[in-house]
Chains A and B, each alone.
Chain A
Amino acid sequence: MIATPSAASRWVRWLLIGVASAMLTLHAAAWMTTATVLWQEQVVVHTPRIQSAIVVGLALLVLRATSAPRRRRRLVVLCVLVMLGVAFVTVPLPKSFAGEGFMPGGNDTGSSRGQFENRFRVERGDVLFHSHLGDVVMSALDGAFGRSETSPAHAYDALSRLAGLLFLIELGVAAAWHKWSRQSCRYVGLAIATPLCLLFFGYWDLGYLSMSVGVVPLLALARSRMPVRAHAAALVAGGLQGLHAALHGFGLLGLAGGAMAALSRPGDMLRRGVRAATFTSAGVALYLGWMFFYVTLGRLSVEWERQLGYRPFFESIVFDNKIANPLLSQAGFGEFGLLSALAGVPVLALALLSSRRATLVPTILYALPGLIFLVQWWPPSAPSNLDLMLSVFPGIFAACWVLASSRLTSMRTLLLLSGLHMLLWTAVGNAVFARLDVAP
């Protein structure tokens, strides 16, 4: 017997689609404004560099291989993941591009011992809450490299590669759990083509540790009719997202999105509630459970000192000694459009335009927290702090999962992602929407 949705759930679905459409219209208007500003400022278009070529090329190999029989495509996907792992180590990102530094936080703390110890205070007995596990891992890596003048740089390099390894393992496990289905293999291809993947080539900062690529395919399994398999998948997905949120607090966007997506159909209300509770409890446990060990074993105290920048609506304000343009101005709206495009919102738009109605609701629910947060978020170091700019929208992975359902939409998405790579290098190379400093 097939359950038909009640009138209430139909209303909720249409309400969600309406809210998402309104948000996407706002984002699309902002992309137009960004294009206008880029045209007016006559920016130099920069070709994506070798790291982008590698991820797009390898993604193309995976997408081509998905038409092969299961064993052959598994072989290709595994080889591509290994090749990408090797590339993470052997083809590092430059520390600046077209005369512009694009790792502002990492460059400061990575090149000065004093600044490093001011940022990572674990040795002094403190840990900052917003990236508590990331701080502990960085301090451990610094210790492993000898706590010298050069050890912070080595620690950043090692952390980026370790995060890359985790990214590849998550992709491999997710594809294996889906028994190397065509959709899961295409998802691997699309995920490695996202601009986020560039940060595993040695980007010096922590923000990108918040993104978990394995959560969306596992949540798809959590919608299975087999209860044990579904609960195991929800538990692992929640745990993964919690771990990433502990590494950096932006993972809370994924945690919120995952919990909301777990609430969507299929299943009756009880089953959906249990699925969402399983995901959330595992997530919160791995997000906050570390505190027990910090306090009891490490004798550390936890500090909160991070302030998020919020974009004003009407009047400019000064935040962190920088001018924040209001959303309702060409500069502010255009900057919002650039952040939205780089974070991957166009991929969500493509997914909603080309996906089946049944997949719309979970995708929207997963993406909604990031979609709303982007409107108000104002990053003080934009357009240089790519670690946060590329991690603010975990919905890109939900969109990739939906688009991976067919070969044609996957290829369209790869084309769109290549365009985002070009936009990324162009934005960094021209320092568009760079911040204006004011005297304190």
Chain B
Amino acid sequence: MDAQEDRRMAVISRFLVVGPVLILLSWYLAGQWDMAGPEARAWLQFTGVVGLASVMPLPGTSRSLSELAAHVQWWGWVVIVGLVLTS
């Protein structure tokens, strides 16, 4: 039962990480990029740069894979919520 729960949690976690990226990708592929106003683009720029700075590996600091995944996941959702608000 525990192993099954663990697997489910892992799937959900992966989806949370990959989900926002897939939504962005489909948004881009659907040709919506050109429709986006300057605010949506500025939001992507802002969260892209700051999100990158928050996950980028640095000398002398270490982070486990699960922590990194949690960070990416958090930033992914920040991007999505921001896009919904700014679009």
B39 adjacent to A47 (CB under 8 Å): yes
Q: Is B86 an interface residue (CB 8 A)?
A: yes
B59 adjacent to A68 (CB under 8 Å): yes
B58 adjacent to A57 (CB under 8 Å): no
A46 adjacent to B42 (CB under 8 Å): yes
A70 to chain B: closest residue by CB = B60
| Given known A-B contacts A56-B50, A57-B49, A57-B53, A49 and B59 have beta carbons under 8 A apart | no
Complex-state Cα separation, A65 to B56, whole angstroms: 11
Nearest chain B CB to A283's CB is how many angstroms away? 36
| Neighbour of B58 across the interface among A50, A56, A64, CB < 8 A | A64
Q: Is B23 an interface residue (CB 8 A)?
A: no
B59 adjacent to A50 (CB under 8 Å): no
Which residues in window 1-56 of B have CB below 8 A to A? 39, 42-43, 45-46, 48-50, 52-54, 56
Nearest chain B CB to A116's CB is how many angstroms away? 32
B46 adjacent to A61 (CB under 8 Å): no
B39 adjacent to A53 (CB under 8 Å): no
| Neighbour of B52 across the interface among A49, A50, A57, A73, CB < 8 A | A57
Complex-state Cα separation, A75 to B54, whole angstroms: 18
Q: Is B66 an interface residue (CB 8 A)?
A: no
Q: Is A67 an interface residue (CB 8 A)?
A: yes
For chain A, the bracket of interface size reads 20 to 34
Q: Is A69 an interface residue (CB 8 A)?
A: yes
Q: Is A119 an interface residue (CB 8 A)?
A: no
For chain B, the bracket of interface size reads 10 to 19
Per-residue B-contact encoding for A388-432, CB less than 8 Å = 1, 0 else:
000000000000000000000000000000100000000000000
A72 adjacent to B56 (CB under 8 Å): no
Complex-state Cα separation, A61 to B50, whole angstroms: 9
Q: Is B61 an interface residue (CB 8 A)?
A: yes
Complex-state Cα separation, A64 to B55, whole angstroms: 10
| Neighbour of A50 across the interface among B45, B60, B61, CB < 8 A | B45
| Given known A-B contacts A60-B50, A60-B53, A60-B54, A47 and B61 have beta carbons under 8 A apart | no
A54 adjacent to B39 (CB under 8 Å): no
A72 to chain B: closest residue by CB = B60
| Neighbour of A48 across the interface among B42, B48, B53, B56, CB < 8 A | B42
A53 adjacent to B50 (CB under 8 Å): yes
B51 to chain A: closest residue by CB = A57
Chain B contacts for A67, CB-based, 8 A: 60-61
Q: Is A34 an interface residue (CB 8 A)?
A: no
Q: Is A58 an interface residue (CB 8 A)?
A: yes
Nearest chain B CB to A51's CB is how many angstroms away? 10
B59 adjacent to A72 (CB under 8 Å): yes
Chain A contacts for B58, CB-based, 8 A: 61, 64-65, 68, 72, 76
Q: Is A241 an interface residue (CB 8 A)?
A: no
B46 to chain A: closest residue by CB = A53
Chain A contacts for B42, CB-based, 8 A: 46-50
Nearest chain B CB to A49's CB is how many angstroms away? 6
Nearest chain B CB to A182's CB is how many angstroms away? 12
Complex-state Cα separation, A73 to B43, whole angstroms: 29
Complex-state Cα separation, A56 to B48, whole angstroms: 12
Q: Is A52 an interface residue (CB 8 A)?
A: yes
Chain B contacts for A64, CB-based, 8 A: 53-54, 58, 61
A54 adjacent to B49 (CB under 8 Å): yes
| Neighbour of A58 across the interface among B39, B48, B53, B60, CB < 8 A | B53
Chain B contacts for A69, CB-based, 8 A: 60
Cβ contacts A to B, 6 pairs, < 8 Å: A47-B43, A53-B46, A58-B53, A61-B53, A72-B58, A72-B60
Query: Which 5 A-B pairs have CB atoms at the shortest separation, nearest pair first?
Result: A68-B60, A72-B60, A57-B53, A53-B49, A47-B42
A positions within 8 Å CB-CB of B:
46-50, 52-54, 56-58, 60-61, 64-65, 67-69, 71-73, 75-76, 418
B positions within 8 Å CB-CB of A:
39, 42-43, 45-46, 48-50, 52-54, 56, 58-61, 82, 86
* Besides A47-B42, A47-B86, A64-B53, 16 other A-B contacts (C-beta < 8 A): A47-B39, A47-B46, A48-B46, A50-B45, A50-B46, A56-B49, A60-B50, A60-B54, A61-B56, A64-B58, A65-B59, A65-B60, A68-B58, A68-B59, A68-B61, A73-B60
